[in-house]
Amino acid sequence: MRRLPWLHRLCMGLLPVLLAACGSAPVMQADPLARSESIAPVPAPPAARPAAEVTPEEVLQEQIGNVDLRARQAQDLWQRMRNGFAIPELASAAVQERTGWYAARPEYLRRSFERARPFLFHIVEEIEKRGMPTELALLPLVESAYNPRAVSPAQAAGMWQFIPSTGKLYNLQQDWWRDDRRDIVASTTAALDYLQKLHGMFQDWHLALAAYNWGEGAVSRAIEKARAKGEPTDYANLRMPAETAGYVPKLQAIKNIVMRPELFGLALPEVPNAPYIATITKTRDIDVKMAAKLAEMPVDEFVALNPSHNRPVIPGANRPTLVLPADKVETFRQNLESHQDKPLSSWQAYLLKAGETLDRVAARFGIELSALKAINGLAGRTRVGAGQTLLVPRQDSAPGNALPARIERPAAEPEVRTVRATHVVQKGETLMAVARKFRLPVAEIKRSNKLSGDSVRPGQRLIIETTAVVQKPGTRGAVLAKAGKPGKAGKAKLAAKGKARKPVRLARR
């Protein structure tokens, strides 16, 4: 355990006789868990002072610490992360396989870590503030390759891959203006809140991660079933879908590479142990291009740091947070000061009236129809009606003409379908293997085929049946209500029937 300097000084002040007898100040012992070749020597403690001279402020400062000594000593962010690795090691054939998979794709790792460079320090900082294992900073590589704009077929979005419902539970705004699941700062806060909750439920990081992938209810039920059968309930032995069984091994594999990249002939890109981004809160509407201009940075770089905004204007009604490079914040503030009496946005919200068409609106506001559609995210022959809000060029330059805070996306009514397919049992294939291939419970396959036992024979035809929730035409995607992502064979058979769109896994985050 690291000695606190304030406690050391207190003891020194109370025991002058003992120290005099010893003849020298005590020497701090090395942390047995520290890697001496990677961590700078621990500095000598300051000269002792009488206890009366140690102020309460100093005691408090030492207690809160702000940053762990080893984190401050780290040469780069990778070493700082290694110092905080705390999830128990997982050793299995799956880990070896995934480690080899990642190690054989150095370009993929390089692109992913380069993408993470601007915000990796922020993630590590937030994890350390909560006392969580720093391996969790590598989880977005498993989820999205650190891509804030990643969207799964199940409509999970962002670097941490939240589905809409879970995102709303963790206060991630999703409407016409923005999607906070893509926000670097907000989504990181939400993901760590969720992971903390899961760890509190299961008291085990492997199970917490399994629940992040599979769902807390699914993991809880799997544990109860195993306990009822007298089986082990740890992650390595728990019965779970193949995707979840391979989820933690992926994180362990990336951890293995980050811990000793030289063993795999890899070199991690340099990531300084210093903040790259900072945030600033806006209360006035501002165009994305204007924000980039005030920060004196390219628009594409600003958008890359602020991917949550859906429109070319950011309304100030909800006090949005803008993410800027740390060295651009003062520049932004100074330039903003010079624009106090000028409008920062050239757009306004317009409520479509009965009988109005997009052509008429475009002509009224002097904008090309194609540009009006693009700005409002209207594709092809998308219909609009009275009461729908459109973004149009601002005609009134008054700064007080504020945009509304929220405009909810119109919800499309889903269509429920039954998906049926036939699977021919292969030689050596068990009923459990078929169930895993199609991500269905064994009991459901037995019920669909009126099977009394668990045995199947090669050549036997099994009916594979599940329920799909499919969005109406003109909307995106289909989400399976029961089945997850089937294997290649199962996926091909379901798709061949033409009963539903592309089958996808049911994301639970």
For the stretch 24-31, contacts whose Cβ atoms lie closer than 8 Å and that sit 24 or more positions apart, written own/partner, are 28/2, 28/3, 31/2, 31/70
Q: For position 485, what pLDDT does the model report?
A: 43
d(CA 504, CA 154): 6
Q: Which regions of the chain are under pLDDT 50?
A: 1-69, 397-401, 410-417, 468-489, 491-508
Is 278 within 8 Å of 331 (Cβ atoms)?
A: no
d(CA 320, CA 310): 13
CATH of domain 347-393: 3.10.350.10
Is 336 within 8 Å of 294 (Cβ atoms)?
A: yes
Q: For position 197, what pLDDT does the model report?
A: 97
Residue type (1 letter), 89: E
Query: Burial code of 183-193, b = ≥16 C-beta within 10 A, e = fewer?
Result: bbbbbbbbbbe
> Which two structure tokens, joined as six digits, stand for 279?
């945030």
Cα angle vertex 247, ends 267, 437, to 5°? 130
- Residue 342: exposed, middle, or buried by beta-carbon count in 10 A (0-12, 13-18, 19+)? exposed
pTM of the model: 0.67
Catalytic site includes residue 58:
no
SS3 per residue for 80-125: HHHHCCCCCCCCCHHHHHHHHHHHCCHHHHHHHHHHHHHHHHHHHH
* Straight-line distance from the first to the last Cα atom of the chain, in angstroms, rounded to the nearest whole number: 37
pLDDT in tens, 210-241: 999 999 999 999 999 999 999 999 999 999 99
Fold (CATH) for 414-497: Membrane-bound Lytic Murein Transglycosylase D; Chain A (3.10.350)
Q: For position 113, what pLDDT does the model report?
A: 97
Fold (CATH) for 87-264: Lysozyme (1.10.530)
Q: For position 7, what pLDDT does the model report?
A: 43
- Residue 339: exposed, middle, or buried by beta-carbon count in 10 A (0-12, 13-18, 19+)? middle
The active-site residue, picked from 53, 62, 114, 143, is: 143
Q: For position 453, what pLDDT does the model report?
A: 84
Residue 432's closest CA among 398, 450, 410, 455? Answer: 455
Strands annotated E in 254-385: 277-281, 286-287, 313-314, 321-325, 347-351
Phi, psi of 309 (to 5 degrees): -85, 130
Q: Where are the domains of the chain?
A: 5-66, 87-264, 279-337, 347-393, 414-497
Listing from the earlier edge strand, what are the strands of the sheet with 461-471? 414-424, 461-471, 478-480
pLDDT in tens, 359-375: 999 999 999 998 898 88
- Decide whether 87-264 matches 347-393 in CATH topology: no
> Which two structure tokens, joined as six digits, stand for 23?
């003849």
Residue type (1 letter), 309: H
